[in-house]
Amino acid sequence: MHRMHLRAQTMASLRMFLVVGMMMMIIMHSPMVIVGDKIGIGVCYGMVANNLPSATDVISLYKKYNIGKLRLFDPNPDALEALKGSGIDVALGLKNEDIPSIATSTEGAESWFTTNVLPYLSNITFSFISVGNEAIPGEFANDVAPAMSNLQAVLNDHNLNGITVTTAVATMVLGVSYPPSAGQFSPETKGALADVLSFLSIKGSPLMANVYPYFAYASDPDQVRLDYALFTAKDPVVVDGNLSYHNLFDATVDSFYWAMEKQGVNNVGVAVSESGWPSAGNGGFTTPELASTYNRNFMQHVLNMGGTPKRPGAYIEGFIFAMFNENQKPSGIEQNWGLFYPNMQPVYAVF
């Protein structure tokens, strides 16, 4: 009986070991990373439309699909009111046209902060404040870094060092992006970006980048493979020295890392402030199936937290563009980036 009891205990222990092991394998290989009860991915809330749901309904939609992060391109009061108490982390944008007044003085930065951030601090978690969107290059390019510094000074005065100040740039700031190790910023952006990167390096904060493999593929499908753009390539497509690339997303992000290193900065990460794939507007290049494939794989790639070939394991924040199709944008692909129609029905399945 004693031996039978021991054998029963041993079998029970073995079964428990196997169950725990299987659970660990499921967790380790799950395509979703859950933060609390929310998916740790962001979605951009664009508003260039006249037929969108109310902000309250939009935030309810984020919550329905457990979307844990949201990017606002400007401090829209209705959206901020709706976000109160939602538990959704907010990356807040600052309009490009507001950059000069904030760059001029800390008083200008304090005024913007007092109007657009301070009233919501007790009810909203702000993860980022982005000083402009794709303001470099452009008429406000040289004001971006001073505006970042003044805004940071205001946050410091309010003991809000947990909010990251940065700016968002397009991949067009890269004068060279292929191969990734040749990545460097274009001559017209190097000056403004040098000051931005100096600020980010001191703070240890990431540069936001809008990364769209779609555009590279659609502009040159003979040279850019679809599976390379969609994260579906089984084997390396690009070999750059001792680094192998299965997808264009990683290659683009690593081009930013190399470009920053050529500027003497090696401790600044990349947060992907926009990425996505249009579901219509350009024939066979833009279908709901392609858009679904890209966004699902982008989401999984970010949530797996594997980094890139150049910086394996480096955390990359990610935001899908965008929540809705926006009918006041130029016709064609620009109106078809949304995960949802304005009636809040999915364009295709992602979550």
Active-site residues, by number, are 134, 274
User: Of all helices (H) and strands (E), which one includes residue 245?
Assistant: strand 243-245
For residue 261, how many other CB atoms are within 10 A of its CB?
16
What is the DSSP-derived secondary structure letter of residue 284?
A: G
Check: CB of residue 327 under 8 Å from CB of residue 50. yes
| CA dist., res. 320 & res. 69, Å (int) | 10
Tokens 């260039």 appear where?
48
Q: Tell me which H or E stretch contains 94.
A: strand 89-94
Whole-angstrom Cα distance, residue 1 to residue 107? 83
- Cβ neighbour number for residue 60 with a 10 Å cutoff: 14
Helices (H), 187-275: 187-203, 213-219, 226-229, 248-262
Closest CA to 142 of 99, 87, 108: 99
